[in-house]
Structure 1
């Protein structure tokens, strides 16, 4: 258990030392710092009620399916401004950059995720503008494409995310969602574009491949 008063390490230093670099299953074009059983992630993630879970330390299926789709269909983002919402490790943002996006912004509420994104961007030879912020209640961002990977795991968050996505759609922003059909994905409000088999990660363990979907908002073409 974490001892009270133990200072947290510098995120970038900790990630370099404890999260080895490996290719992403289903998306071998990208390498990420990824947590394993011996990473001691709790030393960085914290245990307080306000500390966000370290979702950034693993490549989740929703991000993997979006990344896979962008490599298969680079014209979706080529030459366009792209924002990755809830970016985590930066997997989707990196895929967008590699697929030829003109500018890629990665947004996450966790400052540790921002540190990981910076390191992962360097590994993959791309430029990502990463910012720690909660923009879900904000006006639509200045972007052409909004990418959302695996943000429908919590009921309250799902409602907030969908409200933002609708505002973005009304503002002319193209919205793409990647999700393995988690419990709170509002499929009745979405149109399926594609399905890919990708590996999913949870609590540091790789599970069997899942069928994950790419979705747009209904009425978004």
Structure 2
């Protein structure tokens, strides 16, 4: 459904990601895993189109475009949770790209948002201000907005960060269900164990793609050491 070929991304003189090639298929649940500063979020942002002029190619299957098929969930801490909107309003923002300019949501849009809020378990919070939510509730709202978008490719940056274990299980179950319905689901995470349990495709990244394949193929001592060796040596700069 979507692939990158020989992708290299630089921030000034620093190379964040080098010569990366990987493909994400419809019906798969993929995890991009690596230490801080490894280029995980860089890879995801390149897929979304948030980084200008990367070297290499980002290719969608024929008949799709980035705008029409992507639903993107950024990291929670990058968003303004003081913005004066309700849970319902936040989820309805997922319909904006579908509606176009100067069009108001119709009955179908309202039903899609209602279904998304119910599926993520926050319909009863629909009138609450987003700033009053817990971390787990906020993540569910972001997922509801993503589902309301109705994209074929779901990209999530650290969806498990800042939520408790029970909410993590719920979120992973929701994402697994989306993949089982034929969508391509791609998430960035540090959680190796959750990724191995729920995902059928793992991509280990540390400035380059270390390994790419099924959990059984990828999850080896050699690959894990190659991926996280820089973190063991005190590599602590911020995520790129």
Common fold: TM-score over 0.5: no
Which structure is richer in relative contact order (CA contacts within 8 A, separation 6 or more)? 2
User: Which one has a larger percent helix, Structure 1 or Structure 2?
Assistant: 2
* Greater C-alpha Rg: 2
